[in-house]
């Protein structure tokens, strides 16, 4: 209607002066309507382009989106590099098999008072179901708020067999959104109650039950083997298995469809940018129904290395759970992939056997939607061009953001690091508060964070924390402040814990040291800045009270002045 009005006047009489006033008014109104219409269309288009699908990270921190859109031309990540969020912090996962275990556990727990010999004089028998039941009751009372107990093994005698038993079990932290299980084993001192039951008199610290430790269990111990036979539903020992899978036979390779990203400008950038970009690639692969070819070699940004220079050749598996990734997404390791590809091409070289078809995609401007119908075996994104044109995550920008979901649930932190987290949190019996203190480059940039430095001085910190945490609690400080004694002022009010207090957990006698060395061809692996960040993040998220720098300690904004 609006258009007919304007075209009607256009083809009408030549001179405006001859048009009656009423008609001129209609023309003006028509024009106004038309501009409103155009404007509305424009707005809708902009909204459609900038629309972001629900992405857990975006939901949990809108500021990242803001930071991203503001800095798109040079794409520097302003978001915190002292925390690293992954799937287990963001999405609640559909429990796979564990609820049944929990139910099994609870249906198991009613004590079988049918225990044959029940005389007050009999010696303590740790395999007596009444002992296990006493320990279960004790645990679920003490750790009700923090832990879920999944599977107990039959207790074994402790150091003093007449009144001690060592028990071991699997558990999950309630704050953990993954369904990974961890092991604990403790020593319990038991007393006999009147009516054929036991009570726990006292319990040892985290992993104090040496006789029930997994290594001790492997010995041919008659009680343990008997117990294993009795409990067929026991959870199998989740040894970490993150070996690199082979692609398979040649014909398997030929049948596969792959999405291959050449290394882009993200390489050697911060770890948060790595995650953001990697998940974009993984999301595109899922959208295209292809296997993602991934490079397990990461580059650690100089800000987080002890040498201060970017360091190549860090294994993905130091930081992330490759086993879980293999199970939740279709991936193949780059080296295996290239070997098979070249082998195939050589075989088919002179012959008429089809070579592998490859679609080379030089720029991110070719959208995932345009590649959807491509039947080539390999879609090879090459990321030519200068920064920031060559960042992987640009593939997921604009209209593509509506189609591609980053599979956050596929990316968890390395179980090896999580074992350290469990030891730290378990050492405090999961009863601690934590404060996240951001310093480092943000504290020294007075233009963007004018108050941060002053608000995180030891005195300011103490004054603020005293208002939020009761004195003499365990206080874990997650921080990028390198000076260990910086927080000494808090020690006269709290039991302060810093990551550096736990250095034996990655020292050269530790399990972690042995395991990462095996991944690294027998050479020791340095516990680097990103591992520190990963552990700090997870210990922080398991604390009872969590104090954040931005919001709780300072008025400054996370992403710099005027961003909140
Ligand atoms: C790019 O980075 C510089 C330096 O961090 C910053 O001043 C600037 O605002 C950023 N954005 C653009 C569009 O250049
Ligand atoms: C301990 O109790 C278990 C289960 O009730 C029983 O099989 C075992 O024979 C007992 N051992 C001793 C030494 O009494
Ligand atoms: C003994 O059994 C009764 C009832 O069966 C129960 O109320 C009581 O708590 C038990 N005593 C102990 C010490 O557990
Ligand atoms: C590890 O998993 C792979 C499959 O991903 C399997 O072939 C291999 O046997 C497993 N290794 C061990 C030691 O369990
Ligand atoms: C994805 O690919 C597999 C085989 O590669 C095929 O069986 C499946 O139907 C495909 N799914 C979709 C949605 O195209
Ligand atoms: C382990 O570290 C300690 C101190 O850091 C050092 O004295 C010792 O030689 C190291 N042992 C090995 C086997 O590297
Ligand atoms: C690490 O490996 C060494 C040598 O293989 C072994 O002696 C040590 O017991 C291992 N430590 C742990 C904690 O597994
Ligand atoms: C920290 O700030 C947030 C947001 O203002 C608030 O919800 C939270 O309760 C504060 N935490 C503490 C420990 O006071």
Q: Give the residue-averaged pLDDT of 155-161.
A: 93
Segment among 8-12, 120-124, 412-416 with least mean pLDDT: 8-12
Confidence at 26, pLDDT banded by 50, 70, 90 = low
Q: Which atom of ligand 3 is nearest to the CA of 197?
A: 14
CA 244 to centroid of ligand 4, rounded, Å: 9
CA 507 to centroid of ligand 6, rounded, Å: 8
Q: In this predicted structure, what is the pLDDT of residue 282?
A: 95
CA 415 to centroid of ligand 4, rounded, Å: 16
- The answer to whether position 563 is within a domain reads no
Q: Which atom of ligand 8 is nearest to the CA of 467?
A: 14
Q: Which atom of ligand 8 is nearest to the CA of 469?
A: 13
Where are any strands of DSSP class E within 174-263?
182-192, 198-203, 258-261
Confidence at 346, pLDDT banded by 50, 70, 90 = confident
CA 321 to centroid of ligand 4, rounded, Å: 15
- The answer to whether position 221 is within a domain reads no
Q: In this predicted structure, what is the pLDDT of residue 105?
A: 43
8 Å CB contact between 168 and 185: yes
Q: Give the residue-averaged pLDDT of 430-438.
A: 94
Confidence at 384, pLDDT banded by 50, 70, 90 = confident
* CB atoms inside a 10 Å sphere around CB 81: 22
Q: In this predicted structure, what is the pLDDT of residue 227?
A: 38
**Residue 94 clears pLDDT 60, i.e. is over it:** no
Same domain, 427 and 403: no
Same domain, 340 and 314: yes
CA distance readout (Å), 191 to 54, 200, 202: 54, 6, 10
- The answer to whether position 327 is within a domain reads yes
What contacts 407, CB < 8 A, 6 or more positions away? 279, 282, 283, 286, 328, 329
Identify which of 463, 474, 402 has the alpha carbon closest to the alpha carbon of residue 55.
Answer: 402
| % residues pLDDT > 90 (the chain) | 47
Same domain, 420 and 312: no
Q: Which atom of ligand 4 is nearest to the CA of 323?
A: 5
CA 325 to centroid of ligand 4, rounded, Å: 14
Q: In this predicted structure, what is the pLDDT of residue 140?
A: 92
| % residues pLDDT > 70 (the chain) | 74
- The answer to whether position 561 is within a domain reads no
**What are the pocket residues of ligand 1 if the criterion is a CB atom closer than 6 Å to any ligand atom?**
71, 73-74, 76
Q: 385-405 as b/e, with b when 16 or more CB fall inside 10 Å?
A: eeebebbbbbbbbeebbeebb
> pLDDT tens for residues 126-137?
999 999 999 999
| 468 Cβ closer than 6 Å to some ligand 8 atom | yes
**Residue 235 clears pLDDT 70, i.e. is over it:** no
> pLDDT tens for residues 273-301?
899 899 999 999 999 999 999 999 999 98
Closest ligand relative to 197 C-alpha: 3
Same domain, 105 and 149: yes
CA distance 50 to 38: 18
Same domain, 302 and 372: yes
What contacts 508, CB < 8 A, 6 or more positions away? 524
- Residue with the smallest CA separation from ligand 1 atom 3 is 74
- Residue with the smallest CA separation from ligand 1 atom 2 is 74
In a mutational test of the pocket of ligand 2, which residue from 115, 125, 222, 228 has the highest number of ligand atoms less than 8 Å from its CB?
125
Q: In this predicted structure, what is the pLDDT of residue 56?
A: 42
**Last-in-domain residue among 392, 410, 428:** 410
**Residue 456 clears pLDDT 50, i.e. is over it:** yes
- The answer to whether position 198 is within a domain reads yes
| 195 Cβ closer than 6 Å to some ligand 3 atom | yes
CA 10 to centroid of ligand 5, rounded, Å: 56
- Residue with the smallest CA separation from ligand 3 atom 6 is 195
Closest ligand relative to 468 C-alpha: 8
Same domain, 396 and 504: no
Segment among 5-19, 313-327, 530-544 with least mean pLDDT: 5-19
Closest ligand relative to 69 C-alpha: 1
Q: In this predicted structure, what is the pLDDT of residue 189?
A: 94
| Alpha helices (runs of H) in 271-414, residue ranges in sequence order | 271-288, 316-319, 322-328, 334-347, 368-371
Write a three-state SS string for 463-489. Answer: HHHHHHCCCCCEEEEEECCCCHHHHHH
- The answer to whether position 71 is within a domain reads no
CA distance readout (Å), 302 to 40, 299, 473: 47, 9, 36
**Residue 558 clears pLDDT 60, i.e. is over it:** yes
Domains held by the chain: number? 3
Q: Which atom of ligand 5 is nearest to the CA of 256?
A: 5
Q: In this predicted structure, what is the pLDDT of residue 6?
A: 40
In angstroms, the first-to-last Cα distance of the chain is 44
| Phi/psi at 452 (5° precision) | -55, -45
Same domain, 146 and 267: no
**Residue 113 clears pLDDT 60, i.e. is over it:** no
CA distance 35 to 405: 36
- Residue with the smallest CA separation from ligand 2 atom 7 is 127
8 Å CB contact between 430 and 461: no
CA distance 384 to 447: 35
- The answer to whether position 62 is within a domain reads no
> pLDDT tens for residues 60-82?
434 444 444 443 333 345 556 77
Q: Which domain holds residue 437?
A: 415-553
Confidence at 252, pLDDT banded by 50, 70, 90 = confident
CA 289 to centroid of ligand 5, rounded, Å: 6
**What are the pocket residues of ligand 5 if the criterion is a CB atom closer than 6 Å to any ligand atom?**
257, 289
Q: In this predicted structure, what is the pLDDT of residue 350?
A: 55
- Residue with the smallest CA separation from ligand 5 atom 1 is 289
Token duo for residue 4 = 């007919």
- Residue with the smallest CA separation from ligand 3 atom 10 is 195
Q: Give the residue-averaged pLDDT of 445-465.
A: 93
- For 316, which DSSP code? H
Token duo for residue 24 = 């001129």
**Last-in-domain residue among 385, 410, 435:** 410
- The answer to whether position 490 is within a domain reads yes
Segment among 175-189, 195-209, 225-239, 284-298 with least mean pLDDT: 225-239
- Residue with the smallest CA separation from ligand 8 atom 13 is 547
Write a three-state SS string for 103-149. Answer: HHHHHHCCCCCCCCCCCCCCCCCCCCHHHHHHHHHHHHHHCCCCEEE
Average pLDDT, the chain: 79
Please tell me which of 14-28, 197-211, 238-252, 340-354 the model is most confident about, judged by mean pLDDT. 197-211
CA distance 282 to 299: 19
CA 468 to centroid of ligand 8, rounded, Å: 9
**Last-in-domain residue among 212, 232, 262:** 212
Same domain, 463 and 497: yes
Token duo for residue 314 = 């860090």
**Residue 248 clears pLDDT 50, i.e. is over it:** yes
In a mutational test of the pocket of ligand 1, which residue from 74, 391, 442, 561 has the highest number of ligand atoms less than 8 Å from its CB?
74
- Residue with the smallest CA separation from ligand 1 atom 5 is 76
**CA-CA-CA-CA torsion for 61, 62, 67, 68, nearest 10 degrees?**
100
**Residue 483 clears pLDDT 60, i.e. is over it:** yes
| 243 Cβ closer than 6 Å to some ligand 4 atom | yes
Q: In this predicted structure, what is the pLDDT of residue 374?
A: 92
Q: Which atom of ligand 2 is nearest to the CA of 226?
A: 7
Token duo for residue 475 = 């206080």
Same domain, 438 and 399: no
Same domain, 254 and 393: yes
Same domain, 321 and 433: no
Same domain, 442 and 513: yes
**Residue 222 clears pLDDT 50, i.e. is over it:** no
Confidence at 54, pLDDT banded by 50, 70, 90 = very low
Q: In this predicted structure, what is the pLDDT of residue 239?
A: 63
What contacts 135, CB < 8 A, 6 or more positions away? 152, 155, 165, 167, 188, 200
Q: Which helix (H) or strand (E) holds 512?
A: helix 511-519
Confidence at 534, pLDDT banded by 50, 70, 90 = very high
């Amino acid at each position: 209607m609006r258009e007919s009005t304007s075209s009607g006047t256009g083809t009408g009489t030549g001179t405006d002066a001859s048009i009656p006033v009423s008609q001129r008014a209609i023309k003006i109104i028509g024009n106004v309507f038309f501009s409103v219409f155009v404007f509305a269309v424009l707005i809708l288009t902009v909204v459609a382009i900038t629309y972001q699908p629900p992405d857990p990270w975006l939901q949990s921190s809108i500021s990242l989106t803001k930071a991203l859109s503001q800095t798109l031309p040079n794409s520097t990540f302003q978001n915190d590099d002292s925390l690293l969020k992954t799937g287990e912090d963001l999405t609640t996962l559909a429990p796979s098999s564990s609820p049944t275990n929990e139910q099994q556990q609870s249906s198991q727990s009613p004590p079988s008072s049918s225990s044959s010999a029940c005389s007050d004089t009999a010696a303590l028998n740790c395999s007596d179901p009444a002992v296990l039941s006493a320990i279960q009751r004790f645990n679920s009372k003490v750790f009700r708020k923090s832990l879920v107990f999944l599977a107990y093994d039959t207790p074994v005698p402790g150091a003093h067999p007449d009144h001690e038993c060592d028990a071991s079990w699997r558990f999950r932290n309630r704050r953990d959104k993954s369904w990974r299980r961890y092991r604990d084993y403790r020593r319990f001192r038991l007393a006999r109650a009147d009516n054929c039951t036991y009570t726990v008199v006292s319990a040892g610290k985290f992993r104090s039950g040496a006789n029930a430790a997994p290594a001790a269990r492997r010995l041919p111990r008659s009680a343990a083997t008997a117990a294993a036979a009795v409990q067929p539903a026991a959870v199998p020992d989740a040894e970490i298995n993150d070996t690199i899978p082979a692609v398979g036979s040649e014909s398997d390779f030929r049948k596969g469809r792959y999405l291959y990203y050449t290394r882009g400008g993200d390489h050697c950038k911060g770890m948060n940018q790595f995650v953001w970009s990697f998940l974009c690639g993984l999301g595109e692969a899922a959208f295209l129904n292809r296997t993602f070819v991934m490079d397990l070699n990461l580059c650690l940004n100089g800000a987080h290395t002890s040498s201060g220079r970017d360091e190549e050749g860090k294994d993905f598996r130091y930081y992330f759970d490759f086993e879980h990734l293999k199970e939740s997404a279709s991936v193949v390791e780059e080296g295996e992939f290239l070997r098979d590809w070249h082998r195939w091409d050589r075989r088919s070289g002179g012959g008429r056997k089809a070579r592998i078809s490859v679609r080379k995609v030089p720029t991110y401007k070719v959208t995932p939607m345009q590649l959807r119908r491509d039947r080539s075996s390999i879609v090879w994104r090459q990321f030519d061009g200068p920064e920031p044109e060559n960042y992987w995550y640009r593939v997921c920008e604009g209209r593509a953001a509506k189609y591609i979901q980053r599979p956050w649930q596929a990316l968890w932190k390395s179980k090896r690091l999580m074992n350290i987290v469990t030891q730290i949190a378990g050492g405090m019996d999961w009863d601690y508060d934590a404060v996240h203190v951001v310093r480092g480059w943000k504290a020294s940039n007075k233009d963007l964070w004018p108050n941060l430095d002053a608000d995180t001085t030891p005195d300011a910190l103490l004054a603020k924390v005293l208002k939020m945490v009761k004195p003499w609690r365990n206080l874990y400080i997650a921080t990028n402040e390198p000076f260990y004694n910086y927080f000494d002022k808090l020690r006269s009010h709290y039991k302060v814990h810093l990551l550096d207090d736990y250095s034996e957990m990655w020292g050269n006698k530790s399990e972690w040291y042995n395991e990462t060395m095996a991944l690294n061809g027998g050479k020791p692996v340095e516990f680097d800045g990103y591992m520190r960040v990963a552990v700090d993040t997870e210990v922080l998220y398991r604390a009872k009270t969590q104090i954040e720098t931005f919001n709780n300690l300072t008025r400054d904004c996370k992403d710099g002045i005027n961003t909140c």
